[in-house]
Amino acid sequence: MASEPNGTRAEPSVHGGMRIALLWIRRHPVLSRGLFGCVVALAALVPTLELSGYCFEQQRFLTDREFLNAAIGEAIERDAVTVARSQQRQVKIESVPLPRYSSMEEFVAKNPQCCKFAPHNAGDESPLVTFGDRVFGRAARTVLVAYPLSLSDRSAATASLRIVVTNCGYARR
């Protein structure tokens, strides 16, 4: 670093750093192209891994069972679901309390065919999943969780919850 007339040191400028980098590139064209190629490949690899469902936090891909368990865990934490029914040319909308389960194991034992994977953005009640959500790991899978309900008039219905799960197994809210 050069010394200023008042005795302080001058900080190197960005211009000087760029000049040094350009000189290095001119002297080592093959190495600089290889280094540039590695940077581009790495920059392309991260979103590709995120898009394919890789969890960087845990440094692995999750299993289908882990995605399903995350969705079940979210479903059993919910208190109620909104149900719309047609009655005599009118639509009746009501909030129905969901059955309480003490654990995921109890839920699966009582509802063995409860869960399956659904395409993103399928149906009117599906949460919106954008391409950005997928690229940044905020939406790896959408899980349809369905189980029976008891309505106020004692008729049967099914609660169908579409739950989006992140690459690392967290239910998106």
Concatenating the DSSP letter of every residue in 97-139 gives: EPPP-SSHHHHHHH-TT-EEEE-TT-STTSPP--HHHHHTTS-
Gyration radius from the chain CA atoms: 27
What average pLDDT does range 7-32 have in this prediction?
Answer: 69
Question: What is the per-residue pLDDT across 52-81, written as a single tens digit (0 to 9) for each?
Answer: 888 989 999 999 999 999 999 999 998 888
* pLDDT confidence of residue 11: 59
Do both 82 and 108 map to the same domain? yes
Do both 130 and 83 map to the same domain? yes
Q: Does 132 reside within a domain?
A: yes
Do both 34 and 69 map to the same domain? no
Confidence tier at 158 by pLDDT (50, 70, 90)? confident
Q: Based on the structure, what is the number of domains in the chain?
A: 2
Query: Averaging pLDDT over each range in 7-21, 30-44, 135-149, which range is the top one?
Result: 135-149
For the chain, give the percent of residues with pLDDT over 70: 83
Full residue range of the structural domain in which residue 22 is found: 14-51
Do both 94 and 127 map to the same domain? yes
Q: Does 130 reside within a domain?
A: yes
Q: Does 1 have pLDDT greater than 80? A: no
Do both 88 and 132 map to the same domain? yes
Q: Does 8 have pLDDT greater than 60? A: no
Do both 34 and 67 map to the same domain? no
* pLDDT confidence of residue 97: 84
Confidence tier at 45 by pLDDT (50, 70, 90)? low
Work out the angle at residue 31's Cα, subtended by the Cα atoms of residues 18 and 39, and round it to the nearest 5 degrees.
70
